[in-house]
Amino acid sequence: VLPKFDVMITTPLYYSLKEEDVTGVVTAKYMYGKPVKGTVTVTCLSVSYWTNKRNITTTMEINGSVNVTCNKLMLQNLNADESWHQGDGDYTEPIEMIAVVTESLTGFSQNSSAIIFPKQSDYFIEFMDYSRVIKPSLNFIATLKVTRSDNNQMSTEERKNLVTITAQQSDLLYHHPSFSHLENESTEERNLTVHVMNYTVPENGIIDIEFPILPNTKTLRVQAEFLSSKTDIGVYDVFSSPSQTYLQIKTKSQDIKAGRPFELSITSNKPVRKFHYLVLSKEQVVDFGTRVARKITLTPKNSWAPLACILVFFVDELGVVVNDALTVPIQPVLDGKIKISWSKDKVKPSDKVSLKISTTEPGSVIGLAVVDKSTKLLGESSDITEDSVFHELNLYSTVQYFPLVRGSFGVFQKCSLWVSTDAILEEDKEHFLYGGMIPIEDGFGDDIPVSKNGPPDFNNLHVRTHFPETWLWIDTKTRSDTDTTMEVVVPDTITSWVASAFVVSENTGLGVTAPVELEAFQPFFIFLNLPYSVIRGEQFILEVNIFNYLKEEAEVTVILDKSDAFEIILTSNEINATENQQALSVPSEDGKMVQFPIKPKQLGEIPIKVTAISSAASDAVIQKVLVKAEGVEQTYSQTVLLDLTGNKPQAVSKTLDFTFPSDVVSGSERVEVTAVGDLLGPSISGLSSLIKMPYGCGEQNMINFAPNVYILQYLSKTRQLREDIKSKAVSFMRKGYQRELLFQRDDGSFSAFGNEDASGSTWLSAFVLRCFLQAHPFIDIDQDVLMDTARWIVQHQKLNGEFNEPGKVLSSDLQGGTNNPVALTAYIMSSLLGFPDKQHAFVIKSATNFLEEKLGEGISDNYTLALVTYALSWAKSTKAKEALNILNQRAEHQGDFRFWVTPASEISDSWQPRSIDIELAAYALLSHFHQDRLAEGIPVMKWLSQQRNHLGGFSSTQDTVVALQALSVFAALTTASKTEMDVTVTAPSLNTPETFSIDTQNRFLLQTKEIAPAQPMALTVAAEGTGFAVFQVH
């Protein structure tokens, strides 16, 4: 639900220490520009990093805007007792003002905040840039900026005051960094030279300072003073040149834009015949040349943005490389290549309006978006604007930070260049990092003036029904003409529409526009305050707001149209009262609300029509509200494997039956069929829900880490791994791996809360070990972590080969059915088998003997038998075949399927098999794979692939992990080389059959169709052709 109004708090950036109050203005306006009536709560608090500050809160009425104040003294006194700087009278903190505006009609709130900083003086004086190293006998260059602290323009009177620059040069490598020497008469002893210079302040407040550096200067201090404000800088590094030859480049140009020439001046302390220059941007050479003159004029291009590094060099008569580099921000020219304009500034809903788009080059690609201004209040916009392009370009910039350059080799490095030369190239002796200049982005797009139209004609009542959030979203190509005009109909929302566009053309590149607004408004209108969704049968209050911006008060009748979709509840006891009609009086320039209690009776999106009629004007709207079914949503899935693999085309047909439960909520039934030409297709389509960011404790973290590994394994084996899926899963796995290390105890084991637990868990440690070994092909895993964990696990093996559990596992979701020593031993053994070389061979042999002995004694529990069979099969035990035979004898058979049921499952009344049965079948399938008994495993694979839920996963984490592992092993073997298949679905509720065509091109695409539900549901699915497909009904 979009916000309907915007709140802004305007305050000065700084407050004076002399003032008692800090003031601001709170403005609240609807998207169509009218003022909001309601209350504003203003909270004032000191911004502190040391303590939780107390605050002062006041509430007042607001009608569009109101002046607000914070009493600074009250705030200081309130927090004085808990300040860490008690008694420090000069200490002041920034003050934050938070304004929350609540609309009186609906109770909706929007907020805004501002921080005001203390100012020590009325003026700011700062060095924007200056030479970071001393080049003796050349000039020191700096740029100084003087501004008022309240950001206002300086008056002519104020600018008559002079800026005093005091420069102090010393030939000593170090001197005390205090300006107290300036008052000392014996400065000659210290070899100090002091210059004092005065400058007038220009209109923009920027002063270029330049003065000569003496040949023997080693350190330099510069102080700038304007009225009561002062600042100072120090330069303590001398540029190193074996021949004492120096070069300096400078420019007086500011705000350098692409396409506008700017001039560089070159100075040297020795005569030079010619200079070479290079211009680099984003580590690319974008311009170069040779010049004799001491001035170079360059015309930057868009490719130079955001920062250009200009390098000038020559080799002197002693064979020494002499150079200098200058980094200048370049603003790309993106405006002027495309312009958009509305034919009117203000329109009524459903009016026709034209949008003109002009480009400078025919055959350009244009992208246009027109959205409701309300969407801009929801946070970050992904619009393509000058600012966003500039920000994106800055991400590619490599020269924002570089070491302090003291030698000619470092100058080349500053421009991201490496140099091979037989000339003398002076290397820096040491580096100190400092921040380079970062370009400041300019805002753009001023408010567009709007014109008033006459009163609208309401004779023909238009019912407003179209309320999109995005009105236009178009990409198009201009033909031979550079102008395009679009005739469009304005949607029915009372709001402002914001149009923005960009253009990409062959010769001029990218161009963007400033947003252009169109106000859609009528002076009398209804606004329905609807929730996003409601539950069928539950009463809710329909709030109808009537806004009247006509000159006179309006007597209004509000009518809610009756409908079979909902029941209107009568609230009045009056004899003549009607439940669907109410009368009220709405003052001019105001709004009023009426309420209708209603009870929805139908599911889905139901339309609600409200009409408001007065003698002067009328309005009508139809809006939809989503009605959800009562009860809890349940899903059921049935899967058919369409196996037409073979040399020649085949045909197969299956019938699926489903009966909805007797207690199903009437009308909530939905049936959907899907087809995909790949065994794990449904799992892949549900990847967004299966690939998860790991979080939480040591167990929760692994619950989300593990599926990522097996999804990637499957996709790699079937050569379907897309780069976007891989990067997302790998990113999550890295984070999960790093997080899991927080729960590794000092002894190498893992537990839910690491060192806080009494002991590590052998089971969790084995699970972590198993997952990390499987993840190793995708992310870097520290081998020491694996070794430490395995070493700790091995210490908990008894002499007879059995493993014990000294710790505890909190999540039954994670552990599956592992709760006895035999199953635990089999699980740990299979984790240790994951090491690529035969490490821990003795431990594995000892565990194998223990499991073989238990198998001989007889294992009654199917789940434990499946785990033992898997471990023995992987270890190539001589008893593995016998174990799998016993397991297969206990299997249930149902058509083409083979599966196992544990006693707990038999008494379960759930539709779906329990997760322990899925995990059991997965271990059985993996055992078939390890014993090369693939054909026997197909019925298990078919049953297992049927058990997936609608998201592509299984019931819980552990069964999803093991089942995906088992299916990926088989899927890699059963991937059909050629798929060409037609799947037809027929059902009594379908007039015409639904068809899916699956071929090699689209076999990974999950195709979905919805069909009308019936009770009972009977579907027939038939397939013809070659290949392999999975069909599901949900």
Give the Cα-Cα-Cα angle 681, 685, 690 (nearest 5 degrees). 110
DSSP 399-436: -SEEEPP-SHHHHHHHTT-----SSB-PPPS---EEE-
Per-residue model confidence (pLDDT) at position 451 = 29
Reported residue count of the chain is 1034
The owner of tokens 């074996």 is 242
Give the residue from 203, 238, 273 where a domain finishes.
238
Same domain, 514 and 388: yes
Q: For residues 24 and 6, give the distance between their C-alpha atoms in angstroms, rounded to a whole number.
A: 17
Confidence grade of residue 15 (pLDDT, cut at 50, 70, 90): confident
Beta 346-347 vs 516-520: how paired, if at all? parallel
Q: Which residues contact 317 (CB under 8 A, 6 or more apart)?
A: none
The CATH number covering residue 994 comes to: 2.60.120.1540
Summary count for the chain: helices (H), strands (E): 19, 53
Coil/strand/helix, residue 702: helix
pLDDT tens across 866-915, in order? Answer: 999 999 999 899 999 999 999 999 988 876 678 888 765 444 444 445 77
Contact 242/320 with Cβ under 8 angstroms? yes
Nearest-CA neighbor of 553 among 524, 594, 521? 524
Coil/strand/helix, residue 183: helix
Coil/strand/helix, residue 874: helix
Full residue range of the structural domain in which residue 133 is found: 122-238
| Amino acid identity at 143 | T
Same domain, 819 and 931: yes
Q: What are the strands, taking DSSP E only, across 52-202? A: 55-63, 65-71, 95-103, 109-119, 123-130, 139-148, 163-170, 192-199
| Residue 543 lies inside a defined structural domain of this protein | yes
C-alpha 277, offset from chain centre: 42
227: left (phi over 0), alpha (psi -120 to 50) or beta: left
Q: For residues 696 and 128, give the distance between their C-alpha atoms in angstroms, rounded to a whole number.
A: 46
Give the residue from 487, 520, 553 where a domain finishes.
520
- For range 246-250, the mean pLDDT: 91
| Amino acid identity at 106 | T
Give the Cα-Cα-Cα angle 174, 180, 185 (nearest 5 degrees). 95
| Residue 352 lies inside a defined structural domain of this protein | yes
DSSP 497-540: EEEEEEEEETTTEEEE---EEEEE--SEEEEEE--SEEETT--E
Strand partners, 295: 265
Coil/strand/helix, residue 82: helix
Q: For residues 545 and 382, give the distance between their C-alpha atoms in angstroms, rounded to a whole number.
A: 32
Max CA pair span of the chain: 111
- For range 385-389, the mean pLDDT: 80
Q: For residues 133 and 276, give the distance between their C-alpha atoms in angstroms, rounded to a whole number.
A: 22
Same domain, 719 and 867: yes
- DSSP label at residue 15: E
What does pLDDT average to over the chain? Answer: 81
941: left (phi over 0), alpha (psi -120 to 50) or beta: alpha
The CATH number covering residue 371 comes to: 2.20.130.20
Same domain, 589 and 646: no
pLDDT tens across 538-570, in order? Answer: 888 899 999 998 888 889 999 998 888 888 887
Nearest-CA neighbor of 163 among 214, 222, 221? 222
In this structure, of 113-117, 124-128, 334-338, 516-520, the range with the lowest mean pLDDT score is 334-338
In this structure, of 449-453, 623-627, 652-656, 804-808, the range with the lowest mean pLDDT score is 449-453
Coil/strand/helix, residue 45: strand
Asked if the model's pLDDT at residue 652 lies above 90, the reply is no
- For range 526-548, the mean pLDDT: 88
The CATH number covering residue 32 comes to: 2.60.40.1940
Nearest-CA neighbor of 921 among 939, 900, 905? 900
CA distances from 265 to 408, 950, 1026 (A): 19, 70, 76
Nearest-CA neighbor of 296 among 280, 274, 315? 274
Q: Which residues contact 336 (CB under 8 A, 6 or more apart)?
A: 360, 511
| Residue 969 lies inside a defined structural domain of this protein | no
Same domain, 878 and 997: no
Q: Which residues contact 431 (CB under 8 A, 6 or more apart)?
A: 403, 404
Contact 888/940 with Cβ under 8 angstroms? no
Per-residue model confidence (pLDDT) at position 915 = 74
Same domain, 673 and 700: no
Q: For residues 851 and 878, give the distance between their C-alpha atoms in angstroms, rounded to a whole number.
A: 12
The CATH number covering residue 741 comes to: 1.50.10.20
Same domain, 535 and 486: no
C-alpha 99, offset from chain centre: 27
Per-residue model confidence (pLDDT) at position 971 = 67
Q: pTM score, two decimals?
A: 0.57
pLDDT above 70 coverage of the chain, percent = 84
317 vs 2, more confident: 317
| Residue 988 lies inside a defined structural domain of this protein | yes
Give the Cα-Cα-Cα angle 295, 299, 301 (nearest 5 degrees). 150
pLDDT tens across 685-734, in order? Answer: 554 456 656 666 777 777 778 778 877 876 777 666 778 778 888 888 88
Q: For residues 712 and 869, give the distance between their C-alpha atoms in angstroms, rounded to a whole number.
A: 26
| Residue 782 lies inside a defined structural domain of this protein | yes
Positive or negative: CA dihedral 641, 707, 779, 941: negative
Nearest-CA neighbor of 48 among 92, 86, 87? 92
Q: How close are the terminal C-alpha atoms of the chain, in Å?
A: 30
Per-residue model confidence (pLDDT) at position 27 = 94
Angle between helices 957-974 and 915-930 (to 10 degrees): 40
Tokens of 481: 């003409």
Contact 204/148 with Cβ under 8 angstroms? no
Beta 618-628 vs 463-464: how paired, if at all? parallel
Give the Cα-Cα-Cα angle 201, 205, 208 (nearest 5 degrees). 75
Per-residue model confidence (pLDDT) at position 577 = 57
Same domain, 782 and 841: yes
Tokens of 480: 């031979």
| Residue 965 lies inside a defined structural domain of this protein | no
Domains: count for the chain: 7
| Amino acid identity at 452 | K
Per-residue model confidence (pLDDT) at position 119 = 78
Q: For residues 724 and 731, give the distance between their C-alpha atoms in angstroms, rounded to a whole number.
A: 11
pLDDT tens across 144-186, in order? Answer: 999 887 778 888 888 889 999 999 998 887 544 444 444 443 4
Same domain, 799 and 868: yes
Asked if the model's pLDDT at residue 61 lies above 70, the reply is yes
Asked if the model's pLDDT at residue 960 lies above 80, the reply is no
pLDDT tens across 762-779, in order? Answer: 888 998 998 899 888 888
Give the residue from 409, 436, 463 where a domain finishes.
436
pLDDT tens across 179-220, in order? Answer: 444 444 344 445 788 989 999 999 888 999 999 999 889 899
- HEC string of 191-223 equals CEEEEEEEECCCCCCEEEEEEECCCCCCEEEEE
Same domain, 871 and 995: no
Residue 504 buriedness (CB in 10 A; 0-12 / 13-18 / 19+)? middle
Residue 107 neighbours by CB distance under 10 Å: 11
Per-residue model confidence (pLDDT) at position 573 = 58
Give the Cα-Cα-Cα angle 913, 916, 922 (nearest 5 degrees). 95
Q: For residues 661 and 868, give the distance between their C-alpha atoms in angstroms, rounded to a whole number.
A: 38
Contact 672/1033 with Cβ under 8 angstroms? yes
The CATH number covering residue 405 comes to: 2.60.40.1930
Confidence grade of residue 790 (pLDDT, cut at 50, 70, 90): very high
Per-residue model confidence (pLDDT) at position 175 = 45
Contact 233/176 with Cβ under 8 angstroms? no
Q: For residues 215 and 213, give the distance between their C-alpha atoms in angstroms, rounded to a whole number.
A: 7
Beta 516-520 vs 495-505: how paired, if at all? antiparallel
Q: For residues 943 and 954, give the distance between their C-alpha atoms in angstroms, rounded to a whole number.
A: 13
Same domain, 742 and 862: yes
Contact 865/859 with Cβ under 8 angstroms? yes
Coil/strand/helix, residue 875: coil
- DSSP label at residue 293: S
Give the H/E segment covering residue 884. Answer: helix 880-889
Beta 483-489 vs 566-568: how paired, if at all? unpaired
598 vs 631, more confident: 598
- DSSP label at residue 147: E
Same domain, 616 and 556: yes
- For range 822-851, the mean pLDDT: 88
| Residue 453 lies inside a defined structural domain of this protein | yes
The CATH number covering residue 568 comes to: 2.60.40.10
C-alpha 817, offset from chain centre: 39
CA distances from 354 to 358, 471, 490, 589, 939 (A): 13, 14, 10, 30, 64
Nearest-CA neighbor of 642 among 633, 653, 632, 634? 653
Confidence grade of residue 1013 (pLDDT, cut at 50, 70, 90): confident
Contact 507/339 with Cβ under 8 angstroms? no
| Residue 949 lies inside a defined structural domain of this protein | no
